[in-house]
Amino acid sequence: MGDKASTHPGAAGRAAAADHPSSLRNVVLVGHSGSGKTTLVEALALASGAVTRAGRVEDGGTLSDYDEIEHRQHRSVQLSLVPVEWQGIRINVLDTPGYADFVGELRAGLRAADAALFVVSAADGVDGATRLVWEECAAVGMPRAIVVTHLDAARADFDEMVAVCQSAFGGDDPDAVIPLYLPLRGEPGADGNAPVEGLIGLLSRRVYDYTSGTRTERDPDEGQLPQIAEARDRLIEGIISESEDETLMDRYLGGEECDVGTLVKDLEKAVARGVFHPVLAAAPAAEGARHGLGTLELLELITGGFPAPPEREIPAVTTPDGSPRPALTCDPDGPLAAEVVKTTSDPYVGRLSLVRVFSGTLRPDETVHVSGHGLEDRGHEDHDVDERIGALSAPFGKQQRPLPKAVAGDLACVAKLNRAETGDTLSSKDAPLLMQPWTMPDPLLPVAIEAHTKADEDKLSHGLSRLVAEDPTMRLEQNPDTRQLVLWCLGEAHTGVALERLRSRYGVNVDSVTHRVSLRETFAEPASGRGRHVKQSGGHGQFAICDITVEPLPAGSGIEFVDKVVGGAVPRQFIPSVEKGVRAQAAKGVAAGYPLVDFRVTLHDGKAHSVDSSDAAFQTAGALALRECASHARIHLLEPVAELQVDVEDEYVGSVMSDLSGRRGKVSGTEQATDGHTLVRAQIPEIEISRYAVELRSLSHGTGRFSRAYACHEPMPQALAGKILEAAQNGG
């Protein structure tokens, strides 16, 4: 790591194809929007020699040249890969969006990586969403480190940020979150801020000076030694407490001087096991400089402390039909098992799939089996097909650099995978496999859309299918009750990006319209009605009369039809016709155009004509009779009610419960979910939570999560129902 001897890359750090998994590191950057992740990626690329000046690649573009939408919105909206090389190690750096709407891209990055680097801004601190991701990583034992950025911001304090990180990430063991370096500040400027000019290595007791634009080393000043000694003791105690050598602590407490080489090895092992989380500091390189502050230390941490792919467990695999298979290892000569972690469409190249190879070796132009992926409810069909892949490449900005192969543990872009979608498994066509999928967040924000013009309508289906294939966090619904086309997303920003991609990539313009919930109608009281359909216009006429009564039934009863006709007033063959007409009218509604449910219809009497009566005539009479009953009775509107489960930090429970009550929700109970989190259960009208995905995030400062499931339909308050019925009667 950085406290070893100073090292510099000999040649430019352009990543080439890896020959063995041990020479690979896959690291994902995690942090809130604006924390400096993309800037840090560019600084690492510059320090490793992958680029010659900050963020620039050979064609004049930048490393962040992945999506025009990102440039317009000035934020990352998708997972991106930047491969660099350091000291013979290929590092696949995965940059993730920091905005909560794109958590699906973050989850994909976590799946593809073997370690996580949490980027925390000294100006903003740690937000709730970042803490939740830390907990997810902790649950699976993923190695993690922390890098503090924006130390030159006004009132930025590194020691304070370390304390914040220990509180947010340390849990029961804050001593597992300890800095490896202390920032070295220069003289205060006119604004009173002292710039960070270097780092002090606590294990090596050396100063790493970045003021010249490259890292140089020197001994610390005499006045810095007490500060170094105190922080160094805390670091050594933290390392020793996680050491596998149980005698080391006793020897240290006995006054024995610990060998720095031994401490570094123990530190690297503890980081790789996911039990020790070093804190570092970083800043981008100044104009014309080669090294940004802390970039070499980060590269050394990644290569020395983060695990190689063989050290991480591979997700479980089965055959496509679910039969168990032996656990795989990260072996280039093993059976092929790879997973599509991201799908994009390029107007010139076509579909590109970012693939993580877990076992075996993937080569261009070979035929693979595509299996996946259990998300039919979101519009993603299951796949079980053979497909020939195209070229393999490593992305670098907008460039695609060819790769001859991708060994186990590596990531690569695959061209011409036209059937595979995000989450699908690629394996040998002779021995198909299916990997256990990662957890996809549920899209809970509905957006109803309509084609802007007839020309857009002709292209809409194709565009939406391509859009949904790229993003498994999106769900497409054709609601049969409201006859609306609904795109379910994770938030407003997610929606905006989806609609912009639909326009810019696929040439489809759509309009957002008010999302309607699936209301129902029901009778509030018994009623009677006659349906009379008599027409004589020369030739064969139409004649049918029927008399019915209706009465309400309990919720969930459906529609019952009872025949009480006596004396053949309605011939036997036409009684089913009356029922058919009643049910058809019920499906259309009788008051506001919503389906009519939970009532009993009794056919009492009627009249027929020997020549002019027909099936169609009695269907029409049945429908007319039901409409007349409705004109004589009160009609209740029923609204769908959802069973809501809200997982929120304890400090926000009161606010959440108060908010639910204000939305006509009925809280049914609370229970302790995890340490510091409470699960709130409630039943709430769906019309009140159409934007809850956005509103809960604001209410809980990004820490709240919820799930919803249909519970039942219940009568809508008369005041609300009256407005809807009045609008329907006025043609609204």
Inside any domain, residue 1: no
CATH code of the domain containing 498:
3.30.70.870
Inside any domain, residue 75: yes
Same domain? 35 vs 174: yes
* Other beta carbons within 10 Å of 160: 12
Whether 124 contacts 34, CB under 8 Å:
yes
Q: What is the pLDDT of residue 347?
A: 62
Same domain? 91 vs 133: yes
Question: Among 588, 617, 633, where does a domain finish?
Answer: 633
Same domain? 354 vs 496: no
Triad 273, 277, 283: Cα angle to 5°: 130
Mean pLDDT of 351-364: 94
CA distances, 357 to each of 326, 363, 408, 438 (Å)? 17, 11, 5, 15
Kindly tell me if the per-residue pLDDT of 532 is higher than 50.
yes
Q: pLDDT for 150-203, tens place per residue?
A: 998 888 899 999 999 999 998 778 889 999 999 998 887 776 678 899 999 999
Kindly tell me if the per-residue pLDDT of 298 is higher than 60.
yes
Same domain? 304 vs 324: no
Characterize the bridge pairing of strands 542-552 and 677-685.
unpaired
Closest-CA residue to 353 (of 432, 424, 433)? 424
Mean pLDDT of 114-133: 91
Please state, in angstroms and rounded to a whole number, the distance separating the CA atoms of residues 497 and 470.
13
Q: pLDDT for 464-506, tens place per residue?
A: 988 888 888 899 999 888 889 999 999 999 999 999 999 988 8
Question: Among 375, 405, 435, where does a domain finish?
Answer: 435
Strand order, beta sheet including 599-607: 527-535, 542-552, 599-607, 559-563
Same domain? 102 vs 72: yes
Confidence class of residue 257 from pLDDT cuts 50, 70 and 90?
confident
Q: What is the pLDDT of residue 193?
A: 77
Q: What is the pLDDT of residue 140?
A: 86
Same domain? 268 vs 332: no
Same domain? 177 vs 59: yes
Same domain? 683 vs 718: yes
Question: Higher-confidence residue: 54 or 603?
Answer: 603
Q: What is the pLDDT of residue 285?
A: 81
Same domain? 274 vs 199: yes
Q: Among 1-5, 46-50, 111-115, 164-168, which stretch is predicted with the lowest mean pLDDT?
A: 1-5
Please state, in angstroms and rounded to a whole number, the distance separating the CA atoms of residues 346 and 395.
13
Inside any domain, residue 14: no
Inside any domain, residue 503: yes
Confidence class of residue 455 from pLDDT cuts 50, 70 and 90?
very high
Inside any domain, residue 352: yes
Q: What is the pLDDT of residue 3?
A: 58
* Other beta carbons within 10 Å of 379: 19
Average pLDDT, the chain: 88
Mean pLDDT of 381-407: 87
Question: Among 369, 404, 435, where does a domain finish?
Answer: 435
Inside any domain, residue 8: no
Q: At what angle do helices 128-139 and 158-169 cross, to 10 degrees?
A: 50
Q: What is the pLDDT of residue 25?
A: 96
Closest-CA residue to 413 (of 81, 76, 89)? 81
Mean pLDDT of 336-360: 88
* Other beta carbons within 10 Å of 609: 15
Q: pLDDT for 54-76, tens place per residue?
A: 555 544 445 554 555 555 555 57
Range of the domain at 322: 317-435
Instruction: Give how many domains the chain has, as a whole number.
Output: 5
Same domain? 481 vs 548: no
Same domain? 335 vs 263: no
Q: What is the pLDDT of residue 14?
A: 47
Residues in the chain: 732
Inside any domain, residue 406: yes
Same domain? 220 vs 349: no
Cβ density class 522-531: b for 16+ within 10 Å, e for less: bbeeebebbb
Whether 141 contacts 274, CB under 8 Å:
yes
CATH code of the domain containing 553:
3.30.230.10
Inside any domain, residue 94: yes
Mean pLDDT of 244-248: 82
Q: What element of type H or E holds 456? A: helix 454-470
